[in-house]
Structure 1
Amino acid sequence: MNFELSEDQASVMSALDSILASFKDSPVEPVSHAYADALAHALAESGFLGIAHEEGFGPLDAALIVERVARVPQVIEIAASTLVAGAIGLVPNGQPIALASGDALAPARFLPLAGHLVVLQNDHADIITPDPAQVTLVDSLLAYPYGRLLSLDGATVERFEDAGLVRRRWRVGIAAEAAGCMASALDTIVEHVTTRYAFGRPLGSLQAIQHRLAMAAETVESARWLAMRAAWADNDAEAAIAAGFVQMRIAGFTYDLHQFAGAMGLTLEFPLHFWTYRLRALAGELGGSSGQALAAADATWGVAA
């Protein structure tokens, strides 16, 4: 099943594609932990980051933007800014917003550059404005800048009471961002197996590869539409199902694509890692696929689960 964008959505996505066209080249560094500051500010200045709270728009439009931005090889924080920030009273301005669960001192994506750290607790969320002197960089190969707080000294902390809203939007963000990464990763491999020859014919003509590419394409489409449905429904069960599905598929999906690239897929010169490294980071967020399965069961059946 496929769906057409509304006229407003089509206009928004066309304008977004015009901006992203300048950022489709791979970053200079093979593994980019650098934040694409120019892209983030271009999106903020054009109003894309706050679209979920514009009249006539909502979380679905934000998820469409997250998925499309995740397709470029440049790394920016997009999901928290579009899906979480406005809902908790923050104004997205192109500076990253970091998300963490339970422990404010645990490593978090984007924290070295973040203006705010949102720490999800069981029944509320803490919105922390950290002292930059208390933030340290964490070494990682996962294509995101990771950092952690050394302490809460010098930080301000505000309490946001609706933990469920933060958790739900975070899950939608995971699903949409992963779907976008998967789409570009698959495009990269399809181009590779079309132009790479073995035994006198393209790799993509081999039936075994075709079958697994078809399974990968099914994963990409399913991940995208589950993410969009979750954003449209904006409820706990759909969000957990969408995040859980994509997290469950990430390991097999990335394994197959790297295998199709052969030894080249293990080099940093081949662009596949710009998306698969991000996917491996997303696979474990908010408890991973098992955590989402439990959350989906709880949201659907409650105590009976």
Structure 2
Amino acid sequence: MKYELTDDQASVMAGLDQLLAGVDTSPPTEPVLFEYATELDATLAESGFLDIAREEGFTALDATLIVERLARLPQVVEAAASAIVAPAVGVPVGTRPVALVSGDPTKPARFLPMAQVLLCDRGDHGLMITVEPENVETIETLFAYPYGRLKSLEGVEQTRIEDVGALRRRWRIALAAEAAGCMASALDQILDHVKTRQAFGQPLGAFQAIQHRLAMAAETAESTKFLAFRAAWSDSESDAAIAAGFAQTRIAQLTYDLHQFAGAMALTLEFPLHLWTYRLRALAGELGGGSRQARAAALATWSDAA
């Protein structure tokens, strides 16, 4: 399956590529768990790319194209929640970065250490919580994202979000878009490796068993991308749940295979594969994981019959 950009979308993506060309997006030269692209974050905030879904004539699909592209970078930047989720739940323009959490608002959340607002899925409603830097405890993890948690909810400004369905639906689309970008770059990293790494006098990529598993990984990455695009285009509950659920249920096998092809070096910080695969492992558990999305897709498709 191929997706052909419209003229407007092609222009937007060309502009994004031009922006990225002016920012250092090379992999970190030192072994790190992750690198937050502070300069790129500021540039994106000024450029308007992350507000594209709010512009007349553009939709969540255009935002999803941008998020998938940014997720391919070795650095991380908060783009998905700002570009895809925030416009649907009334987050004011310019209020970002945005962090997302489900259930208890004091649970660890990605991007919370630099966030201005935390969106919380509370089940029957949502919350928009103002984040003050002094109220955030930074948490170190292996998941290649900056994590933090709120120290307290006492005196914190909170706004109720009645349309929690929009929050959850857009979060699923954002999750799938991020996963698609991470999958694509992780696969590219390993393709370069198996072309040059030798075993028994020939490249690893020459072995049929490895080719088969690489083909499966490529199918996963491409399918995740197009399911994310479809979900953003339709903005429907079922498509969003299917996209997120497919990505989450495929992450374990894809990351296992790619790490195995790189051998022991894949578990080191010096080899950049973890910059994408560890992010994927973080995404695999969000919003309850793949089984929760499968249940949501069934309910959205067949309602009470599910």
Alignment partner, residue 169 of structure 2: 168
Return the offset for 1:112: 1.2
Alignment partner, residue 9 of structure 1: 9
Farther-moved stretch of structure 1 (186-195 vs 16-25)? 16-25
Runs of 4+ in 1 over 6 A off after TM superposition: none
Is the 8 Å Cα contact of residues 49 and 92 (structure 1) preserved in structure 2? no
Deviations 1:38-75 (A, max 9, x none): 11121121110000111111000011011000000011
Return the offset for 1:28: 4.4
* Structure 2: unaligned runs, 5 residues or longer: none
Farther-moved stretch of structure 1 (92-101 vs 192-201)? 92-101
Return the offset for 1:90: 1.9
1:151-162 equivalence runs, <5 A: 151-162=152-163
* Distance verdict in 2 for CA 1:23–1:231, change over 3 Å: farther
* Distance verdict in 2 for CA 1:91–1:27, change over 3 Å: farther
Q: What is the aligned length?
A: 305
1:75-114 equivalence runs, <5 A: 75-93=76-94, 95-114=96-115
TM-score, length-normalised on structure 1? 0.97
1:249 maps onto 2:250 in alignment:
yes
Return the offset for 1:118: 0.7
Q: Does the residue aligned with 1:261 lie in a helix, a strand or coil?
A: helix
Is the 8 Å Cα contact of residues 20 and 72 (structure 1) preserved in structure 2? no
1:3 alignment partner AA: Y
Q: State the alpha-carbon separation in 1 of the partners of residues 189 and 35 from structure 2.
A: 22
Alignment partner, residue 237 of structure 1: 238
Alignment partner, residue 27 of structure 2: 26
Q: State the alpha-carbon separation in 1 of the partners of residues 253 and 24 from structure 2.
A: 28
Q: State the alpha-carbon separation in 1 of the partners of residues 93 and 245 from structure 2.
A: 27
Deviations 1:119-167 (A, max 9, x none): 1122321100033222101120101111111111231011121100000
Q: Does the residue aligned with 2:50 lie in a helix, a strand or coil?
A: coil
Is the 8 Å Cα contact of residues 34 and 75 (structure 2) preserved in structure 1? no
Farther-moved stretch of structure 1 (80-89 vs 140-149)? 80-89
1:217 alignment partner AA: A
Return the offset for 1:214: 0.6
* Structure 1: unaligned runs, 5 residues or longer: none
Return the offset for 1:286: 0.2
* Distance verdict in 2 for CA 1:155–1:34, change over 3 Å: farther
Q: State the alpha-carbon separation in 2 of the partners of residues 75 and 179 from structure 1.
A: 14
1:133 alignment partner AA: E
TM-score, length-normalised on structure 2? 0.96
Deviations 1:169-214 (A, max 9, x none): 0000000000000000000000000111111111111111111101
Return the offset for 1:263: 1.5
Return the offset for 1:256: 0.2
Return the offset for 1:29: 4.4
Q: State the alpha-carbon separation in 2 of the partners of residues 279 and 169 from structure 1.
A: 18
2:183 alignment partner AA: M
Q: State the alpha-carbon separation in 2 of the partners of residues 103 and 241 from structure 1.
A: 25
Alignment partner, residue 135 of structure 2: 134
Deviations 1:223-262 (A, max 9, x none): 0000000000101000000000000000000000000001
Return the offset for 1:37: 1.5
Alignment partner, residue 288 of structure 1: 289
Is the 8 Å Cα contact of residues 44 and 94 (structure 1) preserved in structure 2? no
1:229 alignment partner AA: R
1:188 alignment partner AA: Q
Is the 8 Å Cα contact of residues 81 and 92 (structure 1) preserved in structure 2? no
Q: Percent identity?
A: 64
Is the 8 Å Cα contact of residues 112 and 136 (structure 2) preserved in structure 1? yes
Is the 8 Å Cα contact of residues 40 and 95 (structure 1) preserved in structure 2? no
